[in-house]
């Protein structure tokens, strides 16, 4: 039997990069408009129900007919469909946060291990000691703040207690902004360490060209405006759907750049 082919040193990094299509979920299609579609269906459905069950009988002074009751309860069905879309969207947003952060955490670990391995092989461990110290510290800080949050539990609580939904939207906004900024700094140092090891350097303008980043938003202000107006929450939810796509695009370009340097 032929011996097994040796595993390339950077194989763990490549494997985790290949996971991004599964872990970095892009909410497109119906989910891209779900922040508007879900609440709209709930509102329309409840208006239909109230109109045919209460308003028309109140105007005519007669009992609602069987046809009117049928339309009214069809309205409830529309409202229920809107609620289901909304609930599934919240679940998907939390689950996406977890899956991306989990993959990012494993990727950072693999990148640090590969930098250490190459430095040891080349006798340059001392040359990148300060970079490795920063990377380990930054990785530990990110990992401590980005623990798993149960998508099922927080979704259920959001349905039962409206203010819990505000908290969920708050931490989804805050977590992705902080993650984006800190990982950007992390990989700047990764590429600097790779250059010190004599590995191919990234073009200085690569980050300006590819790093879009997550838009800076104030989750506290957004929560206040949502409480004040109600409808602002729809815009905020739409931001939560689309903002991480910027980070995923930037992350993909960054990962490919790092893999090319460390392979």
Task: Please tell me the predicted confidence (pLDDT) of residue 119.
Answer: 85
Measured in whole angstroms, how far is the alpha carbon of residue 55 from the centre of its chain?
43
Task: Please tell me the predicted confidence (pLDDT) of residue 210.
Answer: 59
205: three-class secondary structure by DSSP: coil
Q: What is the mean pLDDT of residues 227-232?
A: 94
Task: Please tell me the predicted confidence (pLDDT) of residue 244.
Answer: 93
For residue 36, what is the DSSP state?
H
- With 0-12 / 13-18 / 19 or more C-beta atoms within 10 angstroms meaning exposed / middle / buried, residue 190 is buried
User: Of the candidates 218, 202, 221, 192, which has an alpha carbon nearest to the alpha carbon of residue 131?
Assistant: 192
| Domain ranges (residues) in the chain | 96-262
> What sign results for the dihedral spanned by CA atoms 224, 229, 235, 240?
positive
Q: What is the mean pLDDT of residues 130-144?
A: 93
45: three-class secondary structure by DSSP: helix
pLDDT, tens digit, 9 for 90 and up, residues 142-190: 999 999 999 999 999 999 998 999 999 999 999 999 999 998 889 888 8
Say how many Å lie between the first and final Cα of the chain, rounded.
Answer: 28
Q: What is the mean pLDDT of residues 227-242?
A: 94
CB 35 within 8 A of CB 85: no
**Both structure tokens of 152:** 């099922």
Report the C-alpha gap between 245 and 20 in whole angstroms.
12
Mean pLDDT, all residues of the chain: 87
């Amino acid at each position: 039997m032929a011996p097994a082919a040796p595993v390339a040193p950077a194989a763990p990094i490549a494997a985790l990069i290949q996971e991004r299509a599964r872990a970095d979920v892009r909410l497109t299609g119906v989910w891209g408009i779900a922040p508007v579609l879900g609440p709209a269906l709930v509102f329309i459905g409840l208006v239909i129900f109230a109109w045919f069950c209460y308003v028309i009988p109140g105007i005519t002074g007669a009992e609602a007919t069987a046809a009117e009751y049928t339309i009214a309860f069809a309205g409830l069905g529309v409202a229920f469909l809107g609620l289901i879309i909304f609930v599934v969207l919240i679940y998907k947003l939390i689950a996406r946060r977890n899956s991306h952060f989990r993959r990012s955490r494993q990727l950072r670990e693999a990148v640090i291990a590969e930098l250490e391995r190459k430095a040891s092989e080349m006798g340059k461990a001392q040359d990148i000691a300060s970079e490795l110290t920063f990377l380990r510290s930054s990785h530990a800080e990110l990992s401590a703040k980005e623990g798993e949050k149960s998508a099922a539990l927080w979704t259920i609580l959001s349905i039962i207690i409206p203010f819990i939904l505000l908290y969920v939207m708050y931490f989804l906004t805050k977590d992705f902004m902080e993650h984006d900024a800190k990982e950007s700094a992390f990989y700047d140092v990764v590429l600097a360490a790779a250059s010190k090891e004599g590995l191919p350097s990234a073009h200085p303008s690569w980050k300006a060209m590819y790093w879009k980043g997550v838009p800076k938003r104030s989750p506290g202000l957004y929560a206040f405006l949502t409480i004040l107006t109600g409808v602002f929450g729809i815009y905020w939810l739409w931001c939560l759907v689309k903002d991480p796509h910027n980070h995923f695009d930037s992350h993909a370009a960054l990962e490919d750049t790092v893999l090319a340097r460390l392979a």
